[in-house]
Structure 1
Amino acid sequence: MAQIGKRNSLTVLHSTPHGIYLDGGDHGEILLPNRYIPKGTGLGDALDVFIYRDSEDRLVATTEQPFAMVGDFATLEVVSVNRNVGAFLNWGLPKDLLLPFREQADPVRVGDKVVAFIMLDEKTDRIIATTRLHRHLSRERPPFKPAQPVSLLITARTPLGYNAIVEGSHIGLLYHSNIGSPLQTGQKINGFVSAVHPGGKIDLSLDASGYQRVASLTDRILEALKNSGGRLPFDDDSPPEAIRSHFEASKKAFKQALGALYKQRRIEFTRPGIALIDLRTAKPGDWEPSGKRD
């Protein structure tokens, strides 16, 4: 049976002037309008489509990809507000996504970017959004391990730090002390699990711990140097925001990695920036084997 709010592989049954009809199982035949039909499609073919309801509440299919599907957390922009029903969010399809007033944790305005969960309304079987996130987070014990890399979605700033959804399932906390620069609600970043407490609370970090963090970052710096012709405009005086944007690391970790590379004579500081040292090129004062000097 076709799943509403998900991508489905559905079989072509027959065509009409308006499009082709797909086999939706218990949902019956579902129209795929002409403008979405892939070139060369024939009867009996299976098409990968997304199923949702149009403005007249009919099930329709599209080959377009929405920004998020049912069961996903996503950052979406408020494009309009109807005082009778709620706000509407841009989710990448012609029909905007409804965020009902009853599902708003806080009132929203046009232009706001909100973190929402996409779900099926049990009463209407329509796809809607909610910003009441906690009821949709997993209550199972987190399966994560310390130092494990994870994807994070920032949901709110708190006195202690930033709450973040971890791998689309659990909530965790990034402490202010572990962040080099401010984050934005709705921002997607990569991070690491620092600890999972017995009660299920998750501590997060934007950097791996210890030598693992430095070793991984040094490799990324060297790779970036090689890809940019041996020079980069970043050093230990660069703004934390620039370092985070380009290397997904804190300034502290970046400085440690630069120190390690400098001690290994892999880089030199050009002030501003750094440069890759070509170990094959001798410099004045460098040691050379006997018999090589003039």
Structure 2
Amino acid sequence: MKESIIGTIQSMNVTKRVAEGFIISNDEEEILLPHDQVNKEIEKVGESVNVFVYVNRNKSPTATMFLPEVRLDSYGWAEVEEVVQNLGAFVDIGVDKEFLVSKDHLPALKDVWPENGDWLFVSLEKDKKGRIFAEPISEGEVLEDLTIAPKTLLNETIVGRVYRSTKAGSFILTEEGYRGFIHPFERKVEPRLGETIEGRVIDVKDDGTLNLSLRPLKQYSMDPDADQIYNYLVDHDGVMPFTDKSQPDEIRESFNISKSAFKRALGKLMKEGKVVQSDGQTVIKHE
């Protein structure tokens, strides 16, 4: 069988019935379509069917009419079925075989590896030996197909799954296709890759992406100036070159507020134990 059709959807014709199901062909290849992989009645030989072609657990090429979203040419969510420390995570794409996400594509820190029941956003890939495996979506591919988040989401709670985990923070995708980022300062525990999390939107960026917080709402000020300053710190790795000694024009240029409003908001953040001033800078206070 041509390896080029493995992992893809093909239009093939039914050539005959057999005890196990149907033999289907595209005039070049013949393959088995088992009875339990048929999702509608096949009435006659010669009928055309759309199938997904893969290699099953017995390492035999086979076909299914249950077309998975995850393919060589398509990304989708796949449930984690098993995690093997020396290999990676096996995911279920909806056929009778699990596909490996290599440990090379999982976080370096095993504490944030996915667990059974988590979901990874993957496509199928083929290695040099023609073997099919699953690989998480890249950041570039996420940005190519981004859904722009509306400004009205600010301070709303949203649900998403972690599709990427890095030292810089965690990245999530929501069911609506919004991309969210969780800075390490905005969480007490780093979420797992593939974990479903609920977070509060603390900023809607100009590019339509979101900044989220996993911290309890009670820790946050309802003061918009204080929120703005804190969000600025989050966006700049927890450090900013502004203090209550900064010049009024510098403050207005960066925050569009007066120095007195800045000092009042900064004082509130300091009183709440969220930030400290040191060496001419303001930094987020680590717990």
Question: So what's the TM-score if we normalise by structure 1?
Answer: 0.48
Scaled by the length of structure 2, what TM-score is found?
0.49
